[in-house]
């Protein structure tokens, strides 16, 4: 009886181990919430997804925290925006994580910028005197829904490569995400149809891909140069220019910048300032990719 009990316990332990292995989920860590949103939608119950940064945090100036390193140390896949957006902190996080599988060049690291064509690539010879330029191009590409579709497909392919047994789950999740992105794109087009937008001012060059996709443009930026905080003289000059426009301007304000400056500028120029999300979770209610795009479109349409 004792021998039978030992055998039964061993079999039970083996079965429990096999069950735990079968239930293991692909561990995905992204640098920003938008890539995490895509991975969650694709992965469903087959993936455990975390974002290092929240949608209301500035991805340009994050710190390489030990907690980020711990999170990455357990990851099977790290999703990066690329185009040097995370250059100031992600390399330190990867180094401190001591997880060779997710280092650049390995299958556990995915630079999602490879799936898109960047815009605003500075000419050769651009230097820091021109601001905090990204030499490889503007990294805020996910705000173009066509780019979002391409990135989502790239993420799904890599997730399937790392976890072939869950490929059917990932493909089903991708199909649902593609439908959401396409629906959001069409909804934005409908919201902006027939709208004669005012002059649009943004703090940073955050919305360039969105503007390009939907036939819009920024008239001015609160930053005198990318990444350079505005000086009082720059703000005063910009106020004078905007006040002379035939229509009051619209200030689209990213949630991680000081809102007081654009609000004061809006008062002086008879315009309006609206805080809009640039990422999922950037403001209350922006809990999906669709919600991000439609929030920006609603502000532009004045709805």
In the numeric block, which tokens belong to residue 278? 């640039």
pTM passes above 0.75: yes
The pLDDT value given to residue 1: 44
**Mean pLDDT per 10-residue run, the chain (303 residues)?**
41 40 81 98 98 95 94 98 95 97 98 97 64 80 98 98 98 98 98 96 96 97 91 95 96 94 96 97 97 98 90
The pLDDT value given to residue 226: 85
Quote the radius of gyration of the chain (alpha carbons, Å).
Answer: 23
In the numeric block, which tokens belong to residue 68? 């980020």
Report whether 172 contacts 152 (CB < 8 A).
no
With a CB cutoff of 8 Å and minimum separation 6, the contacts of 225 are 130, 131, 132
The Cα 25–Cα 120 span in angstroms is: 38
Whether domain 192-301 has CATH 3.30.420.40: the reply is no
The pLDDT value given to residue 164: 98
Sheet holding 26-30, edge to edge: 47-51, 26-30, 77-80, 109-111
CB burial of 136-145 (b: ≥16 within 10 Å; e: otherwise) equals ebbbbbbbbb
Q: Right CATH number for 25-186 from 3.40.50.1980, 1.10.150.20, 3.30.390.30, 3.50.50.60?
A: 3.40.50.1980
The pLDDT value given to residue 69: 98
Residue 28 sits at φ, ψ, to 5 deg, of -115, 130
The pLDDT value given to residue 196: 95
- CA 221, 281, 58, 210 torsion: positive or negative? negative
Task: Break the chain into its structural domains and give their ranges.
Answer: 25-186, 192-301
Are domains 25-186 and 192-301 of this chain identical in fold? Answer: yes
Nearest to 160 by CA among 110, 116, 114: 110
């Amino acid at each position: 009886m004792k021998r039978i009990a030992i055998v039964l316990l061993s079999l039970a332990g083996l079965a429990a181990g096999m069950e735990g292995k079968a239930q293991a989920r692909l561990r995905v860590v992204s640098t920003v919430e938008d890539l995490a949103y895509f991975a969650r939608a694709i992965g469903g119950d087959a993936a455990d997804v975390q974002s290092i940064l929240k949608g209301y945090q500035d991805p340009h100036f994050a710190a390489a925290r030990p907690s980020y390193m711990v999170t990455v140390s357990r990851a099977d896949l790290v999703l990066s925006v690329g185009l040097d957006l995370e250059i100031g902190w992600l390399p330190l996080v990867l180094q401190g994580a001591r997880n060779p599988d997710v280092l650049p060049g390995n299958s556990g690291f995915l630079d999602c910028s490879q799936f898109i064509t960047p815009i605003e690539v500075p000419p050769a010879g651009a230097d820091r005197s021109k601001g905090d330029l990204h030499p490889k191009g503007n990294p805020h590409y996910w705000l173009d829904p066509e780019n979002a579709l391409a990135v989502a497909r790239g993420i799904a392919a890599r997730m399937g490569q790392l976890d072939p047994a869950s490929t059917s789950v990932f493909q089903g999740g991708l199909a649902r995400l593609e439908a959401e992105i396409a629906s959001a794109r069409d909804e934005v087009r409908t919201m902006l149809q027939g709208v004669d937008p005012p002059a649009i001012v943004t703090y940073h060059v955050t919305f360039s891909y969105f503007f390009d996709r939907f036939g819009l443009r920024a008239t001015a930026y609160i930053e005198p140069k990318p990444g350079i905080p505005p000086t009082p003289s720059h703000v005063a000059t910009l106020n004078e220019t905007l006040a002379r426009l035939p229509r009051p301007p619209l200030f689209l304000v990213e949630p991680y910048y000081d809102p007081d400056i654009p609000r004061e500028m809006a008062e002086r120029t008879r315009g309006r300032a609206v805080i809009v999300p640039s990422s999922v979770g950037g403001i209350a209610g922006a809990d999906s990719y669709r919600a991000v795009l439609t929030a920006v479109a609603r502000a532009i349409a004045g709805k």
